[in-house]
Amino acid sequence: MCRDAWRCCIRRLKAAWGAATFHASFSLGNRKSLKVALRISIMATSKRNNPVLTFKILIKGYVRKIGRNGIAASPTTLLIRSGGLNIIADPGTNKRLLLSSLKKEGIGPADVGIVFVSHYHLDHTINIALFQNAKVVDGTTVYDGDREMPHKGVIPGTKIKIIATPGHAQEHAALLIPTRLGRVVFASDVFWWKSWEKQRLDLEKEDEYATNMRALKRSRRELLNAADYIIPGHGKMFKVPR
């Protein structure tokens, strides 16, 4: 914390432009040019420290009936961009749709640096191997080839928080993404609906796959408190009612 604003400005200016630039502007005594330099330097510093996070739903998660007993399912797949880093959350099962959606965004699988998986149900994970250059992140760990390192509760290199949300599966985790829109939570299967169900918010809703319904209800409440918008595992994004 700086003691006064003037000293704080000097520090920011030095960090962004280097001491030489600062001395040149200052010695000229040109207040206007100094102000402009200051503003640009603050923008540069905050952009470097807080790259704008944007997101795009590549696939809206679905669970459809096929035939008598079968289903077709893929979860919501999210593309998050943070600075130059492309992150895919829950790559799902639908390879064709995933690749074509990525192409529309102007990126290929090789451009993805991180794949996040919310939990280990196969409908969320089958497409991981498409992303040959990506590190894989789950609720606790970063996997880089055969190496495993615990993470610090964020997607490495970003401000995206990873929140433990057990219940649907013991290892389940969600993402809290600070965006211009507000706090967007990638909730995955903490909230999900079949395509033939009405998407109605019900904290008590039974989940036939849940390993611990009590924990799941707690996770649902926690995410609703943390979010302005929720992206469910299967279903459409919704605004949290206040």
Q: Interacting stretch for Zn ion, rule CB under 5 A, among 32-40, 84-92, 184-192, 214-222?
A: 184-192
Cβ distance to Zn ion smaller for residue 109 or 167: 167
Q: How far is the CB of 64 from Zn ion (least distance, A)?
A: 16
234 lies in the binding site for Zn ion (CB under 5 A): no
SS3 53: strand
Q: How far is the CB of 187 from Zn ion (least distance, A)?
A: 11
Cβ distance to Zn ion smaller for residue 16 or 63: 63
What ranges make up the beta strands (E) of 166-224? 173-179, 182-192
SS3 235: coil
Q: How far is the CB of 124 from Zn ion (least distance, A)?
A: 6
Distance CA 166, CA 217 (A): 9
**To which H or E segment does residue 80 belong?**
strand 77-82
Q: How far is the CB of 103 from Zn ion (least distance, A)?
A: 27
As given in the structure block, the two tokens for residue 87 are 């992150």
Distance CA 26, CA 206 (A): 66
Cβ distance to Zn ion smaller for residue 111 or 171: 171
Q: How far is the CB of 161 from Zn ion (least distance, A)?
A: 21
Q: How far is the CB of 237 from Zn ion (least distance, A)?
A: 18
Instruction: Pick out residues in 2-41 that bind Zn ion (CB under 5 A).
Output: none
Burial of 86 (C-beta count, 10 Å sphere; 0-12/13-18/19+)? buried
Q: Give, in degrees to the nearest 5, the angle at Cα 28 between 22 and 29.
A: 95
Burial of 39 (C-beta count, 10 Å sphere; 0-12/13-18/19+)? exposed
Cβ distance to Zn ion smaller for residue 82 or 123: 123
Cβ distance to Zn ion smaller for residue 25 or 77: 77
Binder to Zn ion among 187, 189, 216, 230 (CB under 5 A)? 189
Q: How far is the CB of 131 from Zn ion (least distance, A)?
A: 20
Other C-beta atoms within 10 Å of 30: how many? 13
Cβ distance to Zn ion smaller for residue 41 or 188: 188
Tell me the site size for Zn ion, rule CB under 5 A: 2
Cβ distance to Zn ion smaller for residue 124 or 135: 124
Instruction: Pick out residues in 99-128 that bind Zn ion (CB under 5 A).
Output: 121
Residue in the shown chain whose Cβ atom is closest to Zn ion: 121
Residues 6+ apart with CB under 8 A from 2: 8, 11
For 17-24, the CB contacts below 8 A with 24+ separation are 17/41, 17/44
Residues at the contact surface with Zn ion, assessed by CB under 5 A: 121, 189
